[in-house]
Amino acid sequence: MDAPVVPQGGRNVNNNTDDVSESVRPGTLMVAFAAVFVGGVLGSLLRSVLPSLPLAVAGSYLLPNAMACLIIGGLYAARHRLHAHMVAFGITGFCGGLSTFSGLAHEWATALSTGALAHALGTICLEVTVGLGLVWVGERLTLQWLTRAE
């Protein structure tokens, strides 16, 4: 019989391992790390291909960030139907690799250093507004799709 697994930062008050989530069992942490790693690689590869697409704006991080936000909204809506490792793969890994806050910060810093304050503020406002809006849209669309599928 396996020893009881104690949740991080807590104690197993019932001495019953059935109440402990699968995510704290031995070995599942490595699977979660692998899922995030593979998702990050795939998201980063897609991000590297996007500038070559005709609809991409050179130097703009809006397209990959917007795509990632839409996907995050959809995965968030479906999170109760997906395994935790799939959510980690999709949101943390794939969308984390696809979106690029560091690239956006570099674009913003470059605009500020050239004195283009209005451009810098406009870029940040556009990215945040579009990003949050697309998370909401992705969640709504996925919830509608899930309710129709039932």
pLDDT value at residue 59: 56
Mean pLDDT of 112-139: 91
Long-range contacts of 125-129 (CB under 8 A, 24+ apart): 126/62, 127/61, 127/62, 127/65
CB atoms near residue 84 (< 10 Å): 15
pLDDT value at residue 11: 41
To the nearest whole percent, how much of the chain has pLDDT over 90?
Answer: 45
Question: What does the block give as tokens for 80?
Answer: 């109760």
pLDDT value at residue 9: 46
- Taking 90 as the threshold, does the pLDDT of residue 74 lie above it? yes
Question: What does the block give as tokens for 95?
Answer: 């969308």
Global confidence as pTM: 0.74
pLDDT value at residue 104: 80
Q: What is the CA radius of gyration of the chain?
A: 20
CA dihedral 55, 64, 128, 102 (to 10 degrees): -130
Mean pLDDT of 106-124: 86
